[in-house]
Amino acid sequence: MKKKFPSQVTVRVPGSTSNCGAGFDTLGLALTIYNTITLTRGDWRGSRAETDADVAGLNMADDAAQLFFVRSGVEEFGFTLKIEGDVPMSRGLGSSVTLRAGVVAALNEMAGAKLTRDDLCSLVTQLEGHPDNATPAVLGGFCVARCDPHTGELLGVLRKPIGRDLVFVVVSPDQELETKKARGILPKELPYFDAVKSVNSAAYVVAAMLSGEYDRLRDAVCDFLHEPYRLPLIPGAKAAIDAGVTAGALTGWLSGSGSSVLCVARPPRAAKIGRAMAAAFAASKLPASIHLLRADNKGLVLRKGRT
């Protein structure tokens, strides 16, 4: 008897913060803010949007589907796409990854392709061009990823669950910042000792997160790779991080390429830190929303629909 696979699959995918300071294109952390991606199988080729709000994601969904079908060897089929959730676009919280990861995970289930989570991480990394958001979106937790320096292929991921004794205070200003623009402003060369200082900071942040000695994070982020070039694009962003640390945060960083900034806090101080960060944006006449988030340690979660 031929096995039936679901014709509809919904995938909940966590948003994420990447880089975590100086861990450029390497470090990522899944957060308790989510998008849900629903695919429903159809008889046509390519994808269709279920609502007008989903149209913007069609090209991204088609690229993800095309790579999935090539890598899995599954015969192509069509689907409708529906996107819902709270991860804002162009705010440095991995919105594009939630879509790409959701599409390939749903297609994997609908086609019975049996790609593993590691396979999905590799697929999404290829689509994104770097693994920092891709790996935590699929796996959850704090992820350290390694890629081939020549091909960019994902070679491995170390993942660590993060306890509820840390709150990640994310403040998102009312300003979009496209990743393409934020990457384009980065220099082609860096002073040697800027790179050395950044490696030192990134290594220490990783050690603190993996050991669970979170108080070691205090003032640990010191980046010279991307933040000095990106923060000036966002009025009030550096001041917001500084205000959060002054209000009691352990450390803070630019989330991904921005425009959101993030501070790491102990729970009792989180609300106060969020208000201080938002006030810094307000001083630059930029309204901002506050998200008090924990680490998501599950990664993407599938819910099958009708067969």
pLDDT at 90: 87
CA distance 243 to 284: 13
**Percent of the chain at pLDDT exceeding 90:** 87
- pLDDT single digits (tens) 84-110: 999 999 899 999 999 999 999 999 999
Query: Span 276-284, mean pLDDT?
Result: 97
Q: Which two tokens stand for residue 179?
A: 């990743």
pLDDT band, very low/low/confident/very high, at 189 (cuts 50, 70, 90) = very high
Q: Residues of 241-253 as b/e, b for ≥16 C-beta within 10 angstroms?
A: bbbbbebebbbbb
125 pLDDT more than 80: yes
pLDDT band, very low/low/confident/very high, at 247 (cuts 50, 70, 90) = very high
Angle subtended by helix axes 58-72 and 117-128, to nearest 10: 130
pLDDT band, very low/low/confident/very high, at 50 (cuts 50, 70, 90) = low
pLDDT at 32: 98
Other Cβ atoms closer than 10 A to 266? 15
74 pLDDT more than 60: yes
